[in-house]
Every structure is written in C-alpha cells, then in structure tokens.
Structure 1
C-alpha cells in the first residue's frame, strides 16, 4: 500500500530544515550501503551522529506522533530515527529492496523494517528527475511530492530514485516496525479504519460504527505482535 501524507511538515518547516541540512558536510552514500547497494547507489548522506540531522529527525518524529494518518497506516511499534540523503549532478539510487533488520542507535535494539517512509524536503520544481519509483502489484508508481509531504510504502517493495539531472533533491527516509507485520493485513485495517471514521462522522452514535470498531480492535488484537 502506497499512501501520501500531505504536509507532514509545513512549507516553512520544510524550508528551515532544508536550509539547515544544506550547510552540513555530506558524505558518500556508499559508506552506509551494503555490498549489493554499493553498485547502484551514488547519492550523499549525512552521518547519523550529525547534530543538525538529529534535530531535524526529532522534529519529524514529533510530527509523526501527532499525525493520525501515519498512525493509522503504519501502526508503529518502533520507528528508526530518520536519515537524510542528497541527490544532485546526476546522482541516483538504482533498484533495491531495503534491509529487513536495522539496529536502533544507542540502544542496540533490532528493528524489523515493515514500512518505509520518505519525506520530501526540496520543492518538486527545484530539481529535475529524482522521482521515487516504487514497484507494486499495479506496476511502477512514480512519486515526486511537494516539500513537507511524505510517502509511506511497504519496505518489501523494489524501488529506486531516478537521477537528479538539475538542481538538488534533499529528503529524509526511515523505517518503521509495525504492530502488524503483514502489508495485506495493514491494508485491511487501514481500509476498515477509514470506513469507521466515515460512519462516525455521519452519525457519532452509530451502532454500525460501534460494531465496526469492535471488529477493528479484535483484528488488531489477533494480528499484532509486540
């Protein structure tokens, strides 16, 4: 399931974050790539211990915690602190699938990557190319969003970032371990949650809404893993 989260950051917040990150010392993205990814990855990244990156990452985490759409679609159990990448001058990241397991900084806890998220920090008209291309059951989905918008998609998806042929593309990316590992089950729960909200908006005392809510929580209880 691919889902856009509009204005996770406001336009002003995205601009401030981008300006701060642009001043930092970027590294070759291949330093953090696995053996296979090293052959298709030519972007730049900020090291995880960069103070500015940590500040922007904390802001994103705070915004996520307040965003009902992200909570509904991701059902987060653990969220890795965001990382940041930069594309310019033809740099790209070819077809790949994200690692299944990551390590949480400082604690060493293992995190299963169920859900991938990209937050666009550069305006869509500030660069050429740079589309996030995600393969799913309906073919390739090409994503290029406004600054502050986010896209959420299964971490099991084959995806790539097209070469940026002009301008600069800066973004955040991170992974979430969901309470529900199965993408199909998360899709069912999300669709059910949307239906419940629609029913209750029409009638806050709806008996159907109450029953649907019970079904939702019983399915979540059955499918969740903590």
Structure 2
C-alpha cells in the first residue's frame, strides 16, 4: 500500500527543520557510510551525522509529528520505529539508484533491531526548489513518481524497489525512516486500513450504529489474529 500523508509537519516545524539542516555547520557526511554493499554502488547523496545534536533534535521532532497523526498509526500499526534519518541531494550528490532496503536494520540511536515492513519519506523541500529528485517506487500498478510538498510524507512497502532520480538544480531535503508493524503482511495491513477508514466514514455519516459496532468487532478480531506485539 502506498499512502500520501498530508501536513505531517506544521509550517513552523518545517521551518525549524530546514534551519537546522541548512545551517553552515550542519554535519553532512557521505550517505554511503550507512549503506549496505549493494546500495553503496548506487547511492550518491549526503546524510546528517546520526550522532550529532541537530540529528537528535530533528529525530524527536519527526517522531512527535508521526505519533500525533492517526492515519500513520492506522496504516502502519507500528511496533517499532527506526530512528528518523535525514538526507540531502543536490547536483554534486544527486541521486540514489534502484535498490531495496535491508530487511532488518540496527538503530545507532537506541540500539534496537527493526524489521523494515513500511518505509516512510517526509519531504522537507518544496517541489519547485529543485529539479529532479522524484522518489520512484515500483508497485503492482507500475512505477509511481513521488514529489510532495514540504511537511508531507509518503508510506510504502519496504519490499518495493525504489530510487531517487538525479537532482539537477537546487537541494532536496528529506527525512526517512522505517516501521516494523505489528501486522507483518502488507496485504493484511491494507485490509485493516481500508476497514478502519470505511468505519470512520460510516460513523461520520450515521453515527454509532449496531452495524458499525459489529464491524468494529470484526476489525479488532482480525487484528487480534494477525498482530504480534
């Protein structure tokens, strides 16, 4: 399931994040330091040093934003969240070729091992600030090209082949992270999400009814069968 989450970050949060990332002393390093053997061959970007003070402050900002967003919880059913990282693309560090994220990652921030079920990118640059830089995601309906407003996010299965096309003008800033879901199957998460969203619409239209209560029971019974905590 590919899902666009709008306005995850407030305008003030976007401005604060950009100020830290665009500061003259921001500790950017070669992005290949955090890549596996295959990814290093196609990764040409910069990444904010994970052990820096700006990275710690920005991690907390992004996590707070995600945790207050009901759609994020409904779509991912998070068990663990890999600490948010931050990257930068520009003409001298322009692209990340086609790759698949590692299945299990070790977080340097909190020491957790996280299975990567869902990938998330939070955009921190406006689309007109750079040329290129689309996040391309291969799914069952073909290749999706994603370039969202600053503060918006996209969720997609970590099993997808994806890439960032070359940035030829300007700078693309983003945060990226992974979620280990309580429900491992993407198909089961999608079904639960669709059921949850339709229940919400039914309640908005008709209020609480016997039918919505029964369907809520079905949702939780499915979650009870499929979830690992």
TM-score (norm 1): 0.97
**Larger deviation, residues 15-24 vs 157-166:** 15-24
How far 1:159 moved relative to its partner?
0.2
Task: Give 1:106 shift.
Answer: 5.1
1:220 maps to which residue? 223
- After superposition, residues 5-154 of structure 1 pair within 5 angstroms as 5-23=5-23, 24-89=26-91, 91-105=94-108, 107-154=110-157
Tell me if the contact between 2:75 and 2:189 (Cα under 8 Å) persists in the aligned partners.
yes
Query: C-alpha separation between the residues in 1 aligned to 2:71 and 2:220?
Result: 17
Cα offset for 1:201?
Answer: 1.0
Q: Confirm whether residue 178 of structure 1 aligns to residue 174 of structure 2.
A: no
For the Cα contact (< 8 Å) 1:57–1:83, is it kept in 2? Answer: yes
Pairwise CA distance, 1:12: 2.7
The CA RMSD over aligned residues, in Å, is 1.0
* Inter-partner Cα distance in structure 2 for 1:150 and 1:135: 17
**Separation in 2, partners of 1:106, 1:140:** 33
Gaps of 5+ in 2: none
Q: Deviations over 1:184-210 (max 9, x none)?
A: 000000000011101111122211111
- Contact kept? 1:133, 1:141, Cα under 8 Å: yes
| Equivalent pairs, count | 226
**CA shift in 2, pair 1:146/1:220, >3 Å:** same
C-alpha change, 1:141 and 1:106, in structure 2 (3 Å) is closer
Tell me whether 194-203 or 11-20 shows the greater mean CA deviation: 11-20
Contact 1:112–1:177, Cα closer than 8 Å, also in 2: yes
Task: Tell me, in whole angstroms, the C-alpha distance in 2 between the residues paired with 1:92 and 1:107.
Answer: 28
> Is this contact kept in 2: 1:199–1:208, CA < 8 A?
no
CA offsets 1:81-112 (integer angstroms, 9 cap, x no match): 10000000151000000000012335433210
Query: 3-state SS of the aligned residue for 1:36?
Result: helix
TM-score, normalised by the number of residues in structure 2:
0.96
| Distance (Å, rounded) in 2 between the aligned partners of 1:185 and 1:159 | 22
Q: 4+ residue runs of structure 1 moved beyond 2 angstroms? A: 104-109
Q: Which stretch shifts more, 116-125 or 98-107?
A: 98-107
- Gapped runs of 5+ residues in structure 1? none
